[in-house]
């Protein structure tokens, strides 16, 4: 029988920590002089006490090792419980959001999707804007830990390929999971601080720089203004492109940079393929736009590079209406959004690694058609790809495609037009950020979507962020039978 107490203990602690994270926004509201701070105080007390009581009730199992089955339950349970409590500050005070909108915003934050139902961001209390940034920052950190320490063990989506690499790459210096977690936190924090200083040096005030750094490094995309990055100049765009790229490459490689080892990052097969695809996408869209009559200049190139990097990484910052570029560029953007960043990063979607495995497997199959008796060895990054890895990758591709199709139909049945339904499913299941269509506000907000559509997208964000299979397995009788 599955013992839920070790899972409840960890989730309780995480909920309590979430309550403590509500205190910085409270202090910001106090410093701003607005009467909004009691919202965060009340939410923090309720969240901290609830999480603390649950942890205390389950603390007699705190020394038990978590099994693989409990790992599945813990992963899903965490991303269900945290958004439920994170929604509290949105439901109170000046935002006064309904539950469906508050839950949508909280799930979008913690899954680093970046889709929002709020408009008029420039008028919101700074505490709320900071809270949105904190949610994405915490979500980005959490998903890296899940990708590096949980998914390889649970053998989800071919992640068993990295089961030993996450540890072996660091050599004998950091062989244990706790050491990797500490190094990861230090790297994540250092990258965030560097991003803050870079934004501030180029003209953002300290508050804007802090929130945008949190949502850049987490590839989340929440902004402090409805205009998003359209409100800022060219140098900030280039800095943002750099940090979005760094945040969407394997963090295990960034951790090594801190010890002076840059070569593993430059030689990583995912990073090379990712950089090549980004460059190819930018050049392709730039060429299409020039052929359409756009000027061949730096400003044009910069806007394309920023939007490609924003969608490719799953950050979702806005910089103008990309639908005005024409059908072909939009198709390219939708395609790169379905690719996503590298495995072991805060990036979204299916990840570059799985596409490389898919292409390698297809190439091997084509060779076998011509020579059925030959022995074909499939390798990636100098390592052989086992059959179970290929099968897991094929499974997750199938699940993503089927889920996207079902979700598109479900959204259309709520009354959404074709564009809104298809891009709404795309942005939710791939955790991209923007959606397109007439019902989408100029700020990118989806407040006009029906409540049923918002609930569907909220569930889609959870599915996409947790690699789909992790969630679906909880709905099988086999899992509960053990």
Contact between residue 138 and residue 110 where contact means Cβ atoms under 8 Å apart: yes
Instruction: Decide if 144 is inside a domain.
Output: yes
Alpha-carbon distance 189 to 228, whole Å? 23
Instruction: Decide if 45 is inside a domain.
Output: no
Q: Which one is predicted more confidently, 63 or 462?
A: 462
Closest of 190, 344, 342 to residue 259, by C-alpha = 190
- Binning pLDDT at 50, 70 and 90, where does residue 163 land? low
**In percent, how much of the chain has pLDDT > 90?**
70
Instruction: Decide if 3 is inside a domain.
Output: no
Residue 177: the pLDDT is 62
Average pLDDT over residues 277-293: 95
Residue 176: the pLDDT is 55
Structure tokens given for 236: 């900030």
Alpha-carbon distance 272 to 383, whole Å? 16
Instruction: Decide if 409 is inside a domain.
Output: yes
Average pLDDT over residues 161-189: 63
Instruction: Decide if 8 is inside a domain.
Output: no
Residue 60 has pLDDT above 90, yes or no: no
Residue 171 has pLDDT above 80, yes or no: no
Entry field: residues in the chain = 482
Q: Which of 130-144, 156-170, 446-460 has the lowest mean pLDDT?
A: 156-170
What residues form DSSP beta bridges with 177?
none
Annotated binding residue at 225?
no
Closest of 400, 264, 457 to residue 344, by C-alpha = 264
Average pLDDT over residues 48-74: 89
Element housing 271 (H / E): helix 269-291
Annotated binding residue at 315?
yes
Query: Hey, is 342 helix, strand or coil?
Result: coil
Domain interval for residue 364 = 97-481
Q: Which of 6-15, 168-177, 335-344, 429-438 has the lowest mean pLDDT?
A: 168-177
To the nearest 10 degrees (0 to 180), the angle between helices 234-247 and 177-201 is 170
The structure tokens 């730096």 sit at 298
Annotated binding residue at 431?
yes
Q: 0.85 cut: is pTM over it? A: yes
Closest of 334, 337, 359, 358 to residue 349, by C-alpha = 337
Instruction: Decide if 457 is inside a domain.
Output: yes
Say which DSSP state 32 is in: H
Structure tokens given for 408: 């598109």
To the nearest 10 degrees (0 to 180), the angle between helices 298-312 and 327-337 is 40
| Residue 188 buriedness (CB in 10 A; 0-12 / 13-18 / 19+) | buried
Long-range contact set of residues 181-185: C-beta below 8 Å, sequence gap at least 24? 181/145, 181/149, 183/255, 183/258, 184/141, 184/144, 184/145, 184/148, 184/251, 184/255, 185/141
Residue 181: the pLDDT is 76
Instruction: Decide if 56 is inside a domain.
Output: no
Average pLDDT over residues 25-33: 95
Q: Which of 47-56, 263-272, 363-372 has the lowest mean pLDDT?
A: 363-372
Instruction: Decide if 51 is inside a domain.
Output: no
Residue 167 has pLDDT above 60, yes or no: no
Closest of 135, 151, 132 to residue 76, by C-alpha = 151
Annotated binding residue at 112?
yes
Annotated binding residue at 220?
yes
Residue 291 has pLDDT above 80, yes or no: yes
Contacts of 181 (CB under 8 A, 6+ apart): 145, 149
The total number of structural domains in the chain stands at 1
Phi-psi region of 42 (alpha: psi -120 to 50; beta: other; left: phi over 0): alpha
Q: Which of 40-44, 253-257, 331-335, 442-446 has the lowest mean pLDDT?
A: 253-257
Closest of 230, 28, 43 to residue 130, by C-alpha = 28
Mean pLDDT of the chain: 90
Contacts of 252 (CB under 8 A, 6+ apart): 148, 165, 166, 169, 170, 180, 344
């Amino acid at each position: 029988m599955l013992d839920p107490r070790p899972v409840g203990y960890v989730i309780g602690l995480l909920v309590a920590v979430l309550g403590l994270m509500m205190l910085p926004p409270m202090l910001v509201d106090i410093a701003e002089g607005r009467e909004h701070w009691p919202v965060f105080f009340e939410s923090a007390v309720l969240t901290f006490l609830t999480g603390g009581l649950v942890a205390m009730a389950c603390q007699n199992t705190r020394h038990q090792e978590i099994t693989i089955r409990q790992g599945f339950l813990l992963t899903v349970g965490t991303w269900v419980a945290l958004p439920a409590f994170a929604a509290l500050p949105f439901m109170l005070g000046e935002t006064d959001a309904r539950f469906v909108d508050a839950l949508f915003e909280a799930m979008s934050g913690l899954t680093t999707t970046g889709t929002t139902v709020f408009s008029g961001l420039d008028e919101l209390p700074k505490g709320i804007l900071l809270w949105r940034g904190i949610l994405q920052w915490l979500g980005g950190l959490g998903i890296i830990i899940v990708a590096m320490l949980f998914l390889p063990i649970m053998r989800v989506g071919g992640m068993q390929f990295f089961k030993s690499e996450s540890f072996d790459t660091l050599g004998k210096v950091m062989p244990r999971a706790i050491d990797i977690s500490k190094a990861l936190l230090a790297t994540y924090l250092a990258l965030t601080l560097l991003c803050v200083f870079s934004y501030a040096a180029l003209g953002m005030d300290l508050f804007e720089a802090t929130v945008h750094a949190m949502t850049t490094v987490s590839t989340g995309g929440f902004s402090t203004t409805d205009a998003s990055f359209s409100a800022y100049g060219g140098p900030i765009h280039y800095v943002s492109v750099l940090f979005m790229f760094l945040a969407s490459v394997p963090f295990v490689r960034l951790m090594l940079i801190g010890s002076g080892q840059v070569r593993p990052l430059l030689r990583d097969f995912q990073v090379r393929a990712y950089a090549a695809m980004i460059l190819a996408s930018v050049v392709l869209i730039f060429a299409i736009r020039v052929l359409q009559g756009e000027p061949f200049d730096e400003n044009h190139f910069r806007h394309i590079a920023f939007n490609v990097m924003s969608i490719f990484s799953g950050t979702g910052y806005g910089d103008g209406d990309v639908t005005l570029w024409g059908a072909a560029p939009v198709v390219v953007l939708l395609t790169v959004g379905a690719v996503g960043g590298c495995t072991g990063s805060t990036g979204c979607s299916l990840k570059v690694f799985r596409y490389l495995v898919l292409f390698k497997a297809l190439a091997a199959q084509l060779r076998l058609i011509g020579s059925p008796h030959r022995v074909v060895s499939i390798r990636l990054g100098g390592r052989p790809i086992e059959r179970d890895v290929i099968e897991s990758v094929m499974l997750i591709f199938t699940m993503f495609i089927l889920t996207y199709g079902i979700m598109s139909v479900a959204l259309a049945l709520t009354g959404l037009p074709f564009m809104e339904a298809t891009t709404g499913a795309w942005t939710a299941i791939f955790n991209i950020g923007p959606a397109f269509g007439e019902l989408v506000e100029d700020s990118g907000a989806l407040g006009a979507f029906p409540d049923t559509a918002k609930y569907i997208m909220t569930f889609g964000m959870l599915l996409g962020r947790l690699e789909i299979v992790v969630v679906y397995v909880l709905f099988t009788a086999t899992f509960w039978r053990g």
